[in-house]
Structure 1
C-alpha cells in the first residue's frame, strides 16, 4: 500500500481517500466520435478488441479525453470463448452470435481448459501497455463475464429477451448446466489471474443476465459459480479487489454481498442509501448514476452525483454509472460527469 498508488486502487482496497474515484462502464465506445471514426476504419468488433494496437488505442481514448481514475481494457466478455473451443462473432446492431450453441454433454466434455497465455496473448499485451502508459494516474481495470452469463450466451446462441433456452436446460437438465458452469468458473478464474499478472490492478465480473433469475435460481445457478471464481482467484491473488456487477440486481443485492467479492456495483434502479443498508459495511459500493441522466443538463448530472456520493458517505465507494454509458450520449456530458466526480467535494460544500 502506498500513497503513490492510483486513487481507485486505494479506494477499492478500503483505504481512506480524499474523494470517491470515478470511471464509467463502457467509457470507451460508441458515444465517442474518435471511436466511431476508428470503427468505420475497422468494422469488425473482434478485430478492434483482439488486435492489441487497436484495443490499446480504444482503451486509452477516454483517458486522453477525460482522465478518469480507471482505465478499463477494451475487450468483450466473450473473448475467452474461442480459447475453450467456442467460436463467436459480434454483429453490429445484432450483438453476439455463437456459431455452434451448446446443447449436449459431448459438447461440454470437448471444451478445452482455458490457457490465456496461448489463446489471448493480446489481452496481456494491452494490459501491460496500459499500465505503463497511465502509471499511477489511473488504475488499470480488467474484466470478465461470469459463468451464468457466458452460459446464457453459448446455450441460447445469441442475446435473448426471455432466456427460455438456458432456463429449459436449467430446469430439465440441471446436471448438464452445472458441468458447463463449473468449466466456465475454472476458466474465468484462470483468465482473471492472467489479467492481473499482465497489469490489471482491479477486476470486475459482469453477470449481466443473472438479474433474469429468480432469487432461488440465482442461489443455484449464478452465486455458487461467482463465488467459485472469487475463491480460486483469491487463492493466488488475495489482494486484488474484485467488483461484481449484475444488471437488474435489486432482488439479489444481499446475495451478491455473500459471494466473496470486495465491491458490489449497483445499477440505477436501486437507491444508493438502500443499497448501502442492504450490504455489510466491509463490502464496497460502486455506482450508480442512471446512464440516461447524461442526456440531461449539466446541473442535473452534478446534482445526481452529489446525491449518490452523499448517500454512500462512510462507505468504500467508487463513483460510476448504474450501467454502461449509452450510445448517443453527448461527449460534453460525459466530460461533466468526470469533472463533477473529481470536484464532488466542492459541489457538496456548495450545497451544504
Structure 2
C-alpha cells in the first residue's frame, strides 16, 4: 500500500489525516544515532551511503513517519564548486578558505553531481527501495543566501556581519556568487529528484536574519530562480521552503514559488494561513521545546495547530529541528498523536 499523504497534502489534495515528519528527524536525540556518532565523523556519516541510509531509516523504523528525509547536510555540494569545508562536532561547519573576493568566485566550477556527490544517488535510490512506498522520500538543499553565509563567514555566525558587509558594500560581488550558487542548487535539486527524491525541501535557514529589503534583494530572487528551474525540469514534485525566524517575511516567502511554506513557531498557524493565502500548503509548526513538556500539553498544541491549519494542505512538523536532548519517548508520542487522527477503516 502506497503512503502518499505528504505528496497529496503538498498539492492540497484531501488526506485522512495530516502527514507528519520532523526536521532533523534523523539525529542526535536517538540513542542509535549517538552510537554511530562515536565511531564516525559527520562527513563519514553523511557521505558513506551505508551509514547515511541507516541513519535516515532509524526514525522510520522507530516511529513510522510519513516522510523519510535523506541524512545529509546543506553544505554537501560545495566541494563540487571548489569550496571545501569540514564539520566539527559541537562547533559546526568550518570553511577551508572563506570566500571574500571576486577572484575566488570566478574560480568556482559548475556543479557536476555525479562526480561531486555520487553517494547521493546511492543513498536516495536505496532509501526508495527500503521504504517501499510506505512514506515519501525527501531530499533537501541549502538556498544560495544561506550557503553564501557559511562560505563567506567561514563558520556559523551570531551577527552575519561579514556576509552582510559584502552584500551591502560589494553587491556586484555578492550577486555574482549567489548566481553561481543558484545554478548549482537548481542542478542539485533536479539530481536529487532523478535519484529518487519524491519531494525536496529548501532550507534558507539564515535568510530570516535579513531585513525585508535585503531579503527581496539577496534571497528571494534566487529562491524564485531555483524553484522555477526545478518546476520546469521536473513538474509535479512538491517543493518546500523553510526559513528560520520568518515571521516578518511570510508574505515575501509566499512569492518564492514553493508549493509548501514551512512555518516556524513564532506565529500561530492561523496567522500563517491568513498571511500566506489559500494558494499555498503549509508545514509545521510545533515549538521543538514543547517536546520537553508533558504529553498532555504536546497533544493539546498538536491538535491546536492541526485545527488552525484546516483539513487540507497541511504537513505536521516542528517549527525547527528537533533538539538533541529531546526525550525519545516524546518524539514517539509526537508521531503517534498525529497518526492516531486517521479516520477508522
TM-score bracket for the superposition, by shorter chain length:
over 0.9
Aligned partner of residue 288 in structure 1, secondary structure: coil
Q: Give the corresponding residue for 1:32.
A: 30
Q: In the comparison of the two structures, how many residue pairs are matched?
A: 344
Alpha-carbon displacement from aligned partner over 1:227-257 (angstroms, at most 9, x marks no partner): 0110111111111110000000000001101
Cα separation, 2, equivalents of 1:173 and 1:314:
47
Q: Give the corresponding residue for 1:133.
A: 130
Q: TM-score, normalising length from structure 2?
A: 0.98
Counterparts of 1:117-266 in structure 2 under 5 Å? Answer: 117-266=114-263
Q: Give the corresponding residue for 1:55.
A: 52
Cα separation, 1, equivalents of 2:31 and 2:152:
35
Cα separation, 2, equivalents of 1:25 and 1:9:
17
Q: Give the corresponding residue for 1:108.
A: 105
Gaps of at least 5 residues in structure 1 are: 347-352
Counterpart contact for 1:281–1:315, Cα < 8 Å: no
Aligned partner of residue 29 in structure 1, secondary structure: coil
TM-aligned CA deviation for residue 211 of structure 1:
0.4
- In angstroms, what is the RMSD of aligned CA positions? 1.2
Cα separation, 1, equivalents of 2:311 and 2:341:
15
Cα separation, 1, equivalents of 2:278 and 2:200:
20
Counterpart contact for 1:306–1:344, Cα < 8 Å: no
Aligned partner of residue 141 in structure 1, secondary structure: strand
Aligned partner of residue 260 in structure 1, secondary structure: coil
Cα separation, 2, equivalents of 1:315 and 1:269:
22
Alpha-carbon displacement from aligned partner over 1:197-241 (angstroms, at most 9, x marks no partner): 000001000000000000010000000000011011111111111
Counterparts of 1:340-351 in structure 2 under 5 Å? Answer: 340-344=337-341
Counterparts of 1:327-346 in structure 2 under 5 Å? Answer: 327-344=324-341
Aligned partner of residue 338 in structure 2, secondary structure: helix
Gaps of at least 5 residues in structure 2 are: none
Aligned partner of residue 74 in structure 2, secondary structure: coil
TM-aligned CA deviation for residue 15 of structure 1:
1.6
Alpha-carbon displacement from aligned partner over 1:79-127 (angstroms, at most 9, x marks no partner): 0000111100001111100010001111001101001111111011100
Cα separation, 1, equivalents of 2:2 and 2:294:
35
Counterpart contact for 1:289–1:320, Cα < 8 Å: yes
Q: Does the alignment pair 1:287 with 2:284?
A: yes
Alpha-carbon displacement from aligned partner over 1:57-80 (angstroms, at most 9, x marks no partner): 000000010000000000000000
Aligned partner of residue 267 in structure 2, secondary structure: coil
Counterpart contact for 1:266–1:285, Cα < 8 Å: yes
TM-aligned CA deviation for residue 344 of structure 1:
3.0
Cα separation, 2, equivalents of 1:19 and 1:141:
19
Q: TM-score, normalising length from structure 1?
A: 0.96
Cα separation, 2, equivalents of 1:195 and 1:14:
23
Counterpart contact for 1:305–1:344, Cα < 8 Å: no
TM-aligned CA deviation for residue 191 of structure 1:
0.2
Match of 1:11 among 4, 9, 12: 9
Cα separation, 1, equivalents of 2:175 and 2:105:
10
Cα separation, 1, equivalents of 2:277 and 2:126:
36
Higher relative CO (Cα under 8 Å, sequence separation at least 6) belongs to 2
Q: Give the corresponding residue for 2:19.
A: 21
Q: Give the corresponding residue for 1:270.
A: 267
Counterpart contact for 2:2–2:135, Cα < 8 Å: no
